[in-house]
Structure 1
Amino acid sequence: MAKPSRKAQDELIQKEIDRINSIFINLPENKREVAKELIERIAFMTIQLEILEETIKTKGPTYLFKQGNQKMLIENPAQKSYNTTMNRYTSAYDKLFTLIDKLNEKNSDEDETEDI
Structure 2
Amino acid sequence: MATSKKKANVSTDMKKVKQLLKQIPEDRQPIAQGIYNELIFIQNTLIELRQQVEEEGATAMFQQGKQEFLREHPALKAYNTTIQRFSLLYKQLVELLPDTDEQQETDELMEFIKE
Q: Is it true that 1:71 corresponds to 2:68 in the alignment?
A: yes
How many Å separate the matches in 1 of 2:72 and 2:21?
41
- C-alpha deviation, 1:80, in angstroms: 1.0
- Tell me the residue number matched to 2:45: 48
Q: Label 1:72 to 1:25 Cα distance change in 2 as closer, same or farther (>3 A).
A: closer
- With normalisation by structure 2, the TM-score equals 0.68
- C-alpha deviation, 1:64, in angstroms: 1.7
How many Å separate the matches in 1 of 2:93 and 2:24?
15
Q: Is it true that 1:27 corresponds to 2:23 in the alignment?
A: yes
Q: Label 1:73 to 1:28 Cα distance change in 2 as closer, same or farther (>3 A).
A: closer
- Tell me the residue number matched to 1:97: 94
- With normalisation by structure 1, the TM-score equals 0.67
The alignment partner of 2:5 has SS state of helix
Q: Is it true that 1:81 corresponds to 2:78 in the alignment?
A: yes
Aligned-residue CA RMSD (Å): 2.7
Residue identity (%):
26
In structure 1, list runs of 5 or more residues that go unmatched.
106-116
User: 70-79 vs 41-50, which deviates more?
Assistant: 70-79
- Tell me the residue number matched to 1:113: none
**Runs of 4+ deviating beyond 3 Å:** 31-34, 66-69
- C-alpha deviation, 1:7, in angstroms: 2.9
- Tell me the residue number matched to 1:7: 5
In structure 2, list runs of 5 or more residues that go unmatched.
100-115
Q: Label 1:18 to 1:89 Cα distance change in 2 as closer, same or farther (>3 A).
A: closer
Q: Label 1:67 to 1:34 Cα distance change in 2 as closer, same or farther (>3 A).
A: closer
Structure (1/2) with the larger helix percentage? 1
- C-alpha deviation, 1:79, in angstroms: 0.9
- Tell me the residue number matched to 1:36: 33
